[in-house]
Amino acid sequence: MRAEAVRAGPATAIERRPASRTSTLYLFALPATLLFVVFVAYPILWVAGQSLYIRSGSGVSSFAGLANYVTVLGDPTFWIVVRNMLLWGVITIPVQMLIGGLLAYFIERHTHALRGFFRTMFFLPVVTSVSVISLVWVQIYAPYYGIAQEYLKHVGFVMMTSPIGDPKMAIYALILVNIWQWTGFSMLMYIAGIANLPSEVLDAARVDGARGWRLAVYVIVPMLAPATKSLLLLGVIGTLQTFPIVHLMTGGGPNRASEVFGTFIFKQSFVLGDTGSGAALSVIVLVVALVLSLLQIVTLGARLTPAGKERA
């Protein structure tokens, strides 16, 4: 009983110490806090402030209220971006989960000697520099000398132009590259989930007679829910920060058809030098990201850990 009482006491031994010594303990938390304040919190506040100002040609800023937001929301490109981002998220996230999940399932449950080999090979696109990947895919998609049009025409799929040069096709062509690059990540998350499934529960399912697809649907998929939730959360944030693939492959073109938030902000802020609307856009992306994340955390109990597992 006494032992219980001691254990239940406030955070046990280490916490209770004189105030003077406690204060030095805050040194543990100081560096992280400093980095956060200077390089995350301050820039966010600054950009929120700037979004309310307009800089004239002569470099003088004047308060403009929500004028920047009105301008941005009135820009037809903004709505192309919104559409593209929706497509991006709605296609990328489930497809990556599906392919990554299937790969993980077969690799983890049906291979032994080659398990490490498959895990590594499918993950390689994640560690290949995105700028290299983008240029390789430009070459793959290229008309005349690219291999996509050359090989796809044998299966009855004739491409007259490069898909990234076609306003209707461009965004899908980019999404394909993105899926290819990041599926290995989904796979690894599910591999962690599957490897950590309690083996006795799987035995119990076998005793209950669940095999094959029914084992997968009724037992394995629900038990991988934590990994799925983390992937959803990471997928939404990843979608909103899409930049290099689009910037390097189409530059948001042709005719802004494949513009995403990243390239749009980049153009407004650094090409056109319009920090006011660049700031307004940044704030919009930030708010969208926070709202979507919090929504998932509250409704789904999603966690941002790589293979977060619910506490039993």
Q: How far is the CB of 74 from other proteins (least distance, A)?
A: 20
Task: Kindly indicate which of the ranges 52-60, 62-70, 123-131, 162-170 contains the residues binding other proteins, using the contact rule CB under 8 A.
Answer: 123-131
In the chain, DSSP finds a helix count (H) and a strand count (E) of 18, 2
CB of 280 to other proteins, least distance (A): 10
Stretch touching other proteins by CB under 8 A, among 52-60, 87-95, 157-165, 289-297: 289-297
- Distance of closest approach, residue 108 Cβ to other proteins, in angstroms: 10
Q: Tell me how far, at minimum, the Cβ of 58 lies from other proteins, in Å.
A: 18
Q: Decide: residue 275, CB within 10 A, 0-12 exposed, 13-18 middle, 19+ buried.
A: buried
Comparing CB distances to other proteins, the nearer of 70 and 201 is 201
* DSSP element (H, E) containing 94: helix 76-110
| Three-state secondary structure call for residue 174 | helix
CA 135 to chain centre: 21
29 lies in the binding site for other proteins (CB under 8 A) = yes
Which positions from 86 through 105 interact with other proteins, judged by CB under 8 A? 103
Q: Does 283 bind other proteins (CB under 8 A)?
A: yes
Q: Which of 94, 203, 255, 272 binds other proteins (CB under 8 A)?
A: 203
Number of residues that bind other proteins (CB under 8 A): 120
Under rule CB under 8 A, residue 126 binds other proteins: yes
Cα–Cα dist 92/107, whole Å? 22
Touching other proteins, residues 32-91 (CB under 8 A): 32-33, 35-36, 38-40, 42-44, 46-47, 50
Q: State the helix-helix crossing angle for 76-110 and 225-240, rounded to 10 degrees.
A: 150
CA dihedral 55, 61, 64, 65 (to 10 degrees): 110
Out of 9, 65, 222, 301, name the contact with other proteins by CB under 8 A: 222
Q: Quick one: DSSP state of residue 154?
A: G
Task: For residue 191, give every residue at least 6 positions away whose Cβ sits within 8 Å of its Cβ, in sequence order, or none.
Answer: 104, 107, 108, 119
**Would you say 141 and 173 are in contact if contact means Cβ atoms under 8 Å apart?**
yes
CA angle 35, 40, 46 (to 5 degrees): 125
Q: How far is the CB of 169 from other proteins (least distance, A)?
A: 18
- Rounded CA separation 237/51 (Å): 22
Contact call for residue 13 and other proteins (CB under 8 A): yes
Stretch that binds other proteins, among 70-78, 88-96, 128-136, 157-165 (CB under 8 A): 128-136
Q: List the one residue from 242, 250, 252, 257 that touches other proteins (CB under 8 A).
A: 242
CB closer to other proteins out of 80 and 283: 283
Minimum gap (Å) between residue 61 Cβ and other proteins: 12
What is the residue type of 238? G
